[in-house]
Structures are given as structure tokens and as C-alpha cells.
Chain A
Amino acid sequence: MLSQKAEQFLVELRFYLISKGKKDKEIEEIIDELEIHLTEAEANGKNIDQIIGNSPKEYMKSIGQQMPIDVKELITLIPVFLLTVLAYSTLPSAISGTFALSSNHLIFGSIASIIVLIINGIFFFKWMPKLFQSTWLVVTIYFLTFSLTTGIFVAFHFWNGKHEASTIFVATPMQNTIILIICIIVVIGCSLYFKSWITFLVAVYISLEPILRQVLPPHINENTTYMIYAAIISVVVVGVALFFLFKKKKTA
């Protein structure tokens, strides 16, 4: 059995190496090797500090320096990731049949997306590994990140509504359908590439609101009380899902 401190170190090392773009297989290998070492050393009454030295950060760096960066993976990962983000941001308007592009969308929309990506990157690679031991802390931090992310997009939409910029492109119903189909293909393709249900479920989650808007009768649709209920329920559902997902990952 590994001590909590040793387990924490291995999780942090894994995320550190992933964030540095190292090869998956080599990450697995070094983590396995260190897990064996730490398990045997702790069974013999040694302390983790005797093994990794005084500064875990320095030790992680010294490991990382000796591992090659997975350039091939990185080159495919970045476009796939961008495609996913693009599909996510296009889905709602394509579903409601109002897909249009303005210069504001292109310029400030991408700035907003980049800020959101950076915030989420910090969450996954800096905060989550540190707080790994406490599922509650992770979920709390997730809510903060999630609210911030949503806030940025909402702020962008409000701002965009006030500053009507020249519209570059408005999709015809036909084009809308095509764009929607492309989005669905991209989402499915990317989910398969990442081998993750989450990629797919996020798309479903994003699409839920515009789909409901079309399906539900207006008297329910425009009722603010229902809207608030829906918002609360959706945030809670995502939080609970994340909680169990995280629990499962931890025990796995």
C-alpha cells in the first residue's frame, strides 16, 4: 500500500508530464517504476523524502528533462482540440438555425475562447493534481472554473449584442443543416479520437438548451422561474456526475 503522500506525488508527476507533452507510454513506464520503488521503499520503512529529495518539483523537472516530447501526438492533438472547441461553439446557433458570423465573433470570440482554454488548462494541470486527495475541493474548484468560463462567454454575448459589428456571413437554412451535420460528425470523430464519453456528453449538454427552446411551447420556454430551475438543475447534474467520475477514477 502506498502512503497518501506518495500517491499524491505520483498523481502530480503524471499531470506534470502530460502537461509537458511527453509520450503516454513513457509516462506510464516511469510512473509504474516509481510506484514499485515507492511501495517497496515504504514497506521497508523509508520516507518518500529520502527517495525524491527535498523538492518534489525539482525532482519532477529532472525526470521530465530526460523524456522526449511527443511531437506527433502534439501536432494531431492541437487541431483536434481546436475542432472540438469550434464544434462546441457552433452547435447552439446551428441547432436553432441562426448560424452567422461577424468580425466581432471571429476576433473577440477567439480571444474569449483562448482565455477560457487557459483557465481550464490551469484547472486541469495545476490545481486539480494538487487537490487530488479531496474530492470536495476538486468539485468546488471545478464550480469556480465552470462559473468563470460560463461568465466569460455570457459577458462576451452581452457585449457582442451591444456592439453590432458587420455581419460577414449568414447561413441559409440549407447551409445551417450542413453546418449542423458537420458539427455532429466532428463531435463524434473527436470523441472517438479522445476515446472519451465526456467529449460527447459536453456536446449534448451544450445542445440541450437550444433543442429545448425549439421543442418546448413558449409559455414554458419564456417563464423565468423555469429557466432558473433548469440552470440550477443542470449545474447540479454536472457537479454530481463529476463527483462520481472522480471517485471512480481515484479508486481505479
Chain B
Amino acid sequence: MADSTQMLKGIIDGCILAIIKDGEVYGYELAEKLEAYGFYSFSEGTIYPLLLRMQKEKLVSTTLKKSTAGPKRKYYSLTQKGEEELQDFIQRWNHLNATVNNVLKIERS
């Protein structure tokens, strides 16, 4: 992956929503999961501006929970609006995915 940062924009948003839907997570956990899925070309910190925006748009809600040491961890969960946004993303992605695959299949053969 040379530089897919530009390509990732927007797509990361949808993946974050999908991971949060799977269960409450805090920032570091979320970054680890994204990495485990194969997103290792982007810097982890990128998720925080995105999470801040999602909070502002009320796609996610947050709760503070005690951690073993240091400050409290902030856990994210999906709101109703976030759920709708995720469904929307899945549709858009499926369409885009199919379209790009079509182009590549025909143009390369």
C-alpha cells in the first residue's frame, strides 16, 4: 500500500461505525481493531478527529469508564442516527465496490 490515504477518506468513517456497532469500544481498542483488519497504513491518531466529528453529528454517544490506571477511558457506542448512517454507507460501498470491480474486469480483459 503505497499511499492510500486519499482513498481511505470516507471509507474509514464507515468502518469505524461498523466496529462500534459491534460493541462499545474506546479509542485505543478501535485503532487496534482497524489495524487487525488490515488498515495499517494510516496513523492511528487519525481516528480522533473523525470520532470528534461523529460525536458532533450525533452518530456516536460516549460514556466515561474507570480504567486500571490514569484517566478514565471514553467508550463509544452507536446512536440510532449512527446506525442509519452505517446502513447508508454499506449501500454506497456495495455500489461503489461493484462499479469499480466492473470497470477493472472489463478494461483489463
Q: Hey, which bits of chain A sit against chain B, CB under 8 A?
A: 29-30, 32-37, 39-41, 46, 49-53, 59, 62-63, 65-68
* 27 interchain pairs, CB-CB under 8 A: A32-B71, A32-B74, A33-B26, A33-B27, A33-B74, A34-B45, A35-B71, A36-B67, A36-B71, A37-B27, A37-B31, A37-B45, A39-B70, A49-B43, A50-B43, A50-B44, A51-B43, A51-B44, A52-B43, A53-B43, A53-B45, A59-B43, A63-B48, A63-B52, A65-B49, A66-B53, A68-B56
Closest to B54 in A: A66
Pair A33/B48 contact, Cβ less than 8 Å: yes
Contact with A66, one of B28, B49, B72 (Cβ below 8 angstroms): B49
- Bin chain B's interface residue count: 10 to 19
Overall SS of chain B's interface: helix
Beyond the given A36-B67, A37-B44, please list 5 additional residue pairs across the A-B interface where CB-CB is below 8 A. A32-B74, A36-B71, A41-B28, A50-B44, A66-B56
Closest to A56 in B: B45
Pair B74/A37 contact, Cβ less than 8 Å: no
Q: How far is the CB of A60 from chain B (nearest CB, A)?
A: 10
**Complex Cα gap A192–B4 (Å):** 52
**Complex Cα gap A183–B71 (Å):** 41
Overall SS of chain A's interface: helix
**Most A CB within 10 A of own CB, among B52, B70, B73:** B52
**Complex Cα gap A41–B70 (Å):** 14
**Complex Cα gap A34–B48 (Å):** 8
B 35-77 to A, binary, CB cutoff 8 A, 1 in contact else 0: 0000000011110110011001000000000010011111000
Residues of A within 8 A of B26 (CB): 33, 36
Residues of B within 8 A of A65 (CB): 49
Pair B48/A30 contact, Cβ less than 8 Å: yes
**Complex Cα gap A251–B70 (Å):** 15
Q: How far is the CB of B50 from chain A (nearest CB, A)?
A: 8
Closest to A35 in B: B71
Residues of B within 8 A of A50 (CB): 43-44
Closest to A32 in B: B71
**Complex Cα gap A171–B76 (Å):** 62
Residues of A within 8 A of B67 (CB): 36
